[in-house]
Amino acid sequence: MEFSVESLETPALTKAFLAEMLFDQLGLNKREAKDMIDSFFVLVSDSLVDGKDVKISGFGNFQIRTKSPRPGRNPRTGEAIPIQARRVVTFHASLKLKDQIQGGA
């Protein structure tokens, strides 16, 4: 089954648009489509919060990376400010996605 995003009016692909595509192309009712999209993103975010990597075949990997504390500075005043240790999400596109992007350019 192929989904078309050619009718996308805004440059961003939104959860509402994804739910609308499920409604239009799969015949799910709007409530089921919205719940399915919301459940998917809750599952992804919960996995990342728990420190688990999320791998979506043919798309890419979301990983949690721990950044150590480091010195920083306020660009306006030049004052030294310590930057706290934190966890960040990184995304690495799959080779298949990279090839599709290069082919579409």
Asked if the domains at 7-52 and 53-105 fall in one CATH topology, the answer is yes
Ordered by start, the domain boundaries in the chain are: 7-52, 53-105
Residues of the chain where predicted confidence (pLDDT) is lower than 50 = none
Q: What is the CATH number of domain 53-105?
A: 4.10.520.10
pLDDT at 12: 86
Whole-number mean pLDDT of the chain? Answer: 90
Which SS3 state, helix, strand or coil, does residue 78 take? coil
d(CA 39, CA 49): 15
- Give tens-digit pLDDT for 33-62: 999 999 999 999 999 999 999 999 999 999
Confidence at residue 64, expressed as pLDDT on a 0 to 100 scale: 96
| CATH fold group of domain 7-52 | HU Protein; Chain A (4.10.520)
What percent of the chain clears pLDDT 70, i.e. is strictly above it?
89
Residue 44 CA: distances (Å) to CA of 71, 80, 88, 92: 32, 36, 14, 15
